[in-house]
Amino acid sequence: MDKNQLGVQYMQEGKWEEAAKIFNEVIEENPQDPIAYINFGNVLSAVGDDEKALKFYEKAIQLDENTAAAYYSAGTIYFSNDKFEQAKKMFETAMKKGLQSSDNYFMLGLTLVQLEQGKFALPYLQRSVELNEEDSEARFQYGLCLAQLELIDEAIVQLEKCIELDDEHTDAYYNLGVSYAYKENAAKALEMFDKALEIQPDHLLAGHAKKLIESAR
């Protein structure tokens, strides 16, 4: 196992100081290695030092402008700080540089949703699900995007698959309830709201929606 791999292992174990020490050694031994800068940036990001992390990603890009992972990592920081235009640019560049991962498609799709560009987000969220069919959150966000575009039948399919993968995904149950209510299937909508409330009794939206349907019956 080389030092980069060892550092990544430390990160997976939450040993941030050990990981930082290893990546620092890699940078000192090989200052032209962009991967070490990305890894060090990921440690900094994990411990909340986003500003310094971005500098390490920028250094990786200076060393090799085709290092797609650096653009992706920078994009996640911009996204978490609500800088969606910058995030979009980074995820798109990562894709152009060859990063065709489900995570990159997912984050680009989420970013476009935040920019209220749901129609453009849809194919990226769809591709994310195609590349990783077991990702319940990708299914949820894809279903949500479909619902927002009033593609209700397609949304129901994805939200149902989401709860197959994660049977405690309260927001998926809630949005299934909304979708069934939209289809005027009150019984099925109530069943979904009840399920959401069973898992999370303080789910305000599900509680409110349930009362609305019950009062209309």
In a domain, 169, yes or no: no
Mean pLDDT confidence for 27-42 = 93
Would you place residue 2 in the very low, low, confident or very high pLDDT band (cuts 50, 70, 90)?
confident
Give the H or E element holding residue 90.
Answer: helix 84-96
Look at residue 169 in the predicted model and tell me its pLDDT: 97
The tokens for 40 are: 């060090």
What one-letter code names the amino acid at 48? G
Percent of the chain with pLDDT strictly greater than 70: 100
Give the H or E element holding residue 19.
Answer: helix 16-29
Mean pLDDT confidence for 25-43 = 93
In a domain, 146, yes or no: no
For 169, which DSSP code? -
Look at residue 3 in the predicted model and tell me its pLDDT: 87
Whichever domain contains 18, its CATH number is 1.25.40.10
In a domain, 48, yes or no: yes
Count: domains in the chain: 1
In a domain, 121, yes or no: no
Would you place residue 192 in the very low, low, confident or very high pLDDT band (cuts 50, 70, 90)?
very high
What does the pLDDT look like over 135-162, one tens digit per residue? 999 999 999 999 999 999 999 999 999 9
Would you place residue 1 in the very low, low, confident or very high pLDDT band (cuts 50, 70, 90)?
low
pTM (predicted TM-score)? 0.90
What one-letter code names the amino acid at 124? Y
Look at residue 4 in the predicted model and tell me its pLDDT: 83
Percent of the chain with pLDDT strictly greater than 90: 94
Q: Are 137 and 163 in contact (CB under 8 A)?
A: no
Write the CA distances from 197 to 103, 142, 160, integer angstroms: 30, 23, 17
Domain encompassing residue 45? 1-99
Phi, psi of 147 (to 5 degrees): -65, -40
Look at residue 158 in the predicted model and tell me its pLDDT: 97
Q: Are 142 and 161 in contact (CB under 8 A)?
A: no
In a domain, 71, yes or no: yes
Look at residue 62 in the predicted model and tell me its pLDDT: 97
In a domain, 27, yes or no: yes
In a domain, 174, yes or no: no
In a domain, 104, yes or no: no
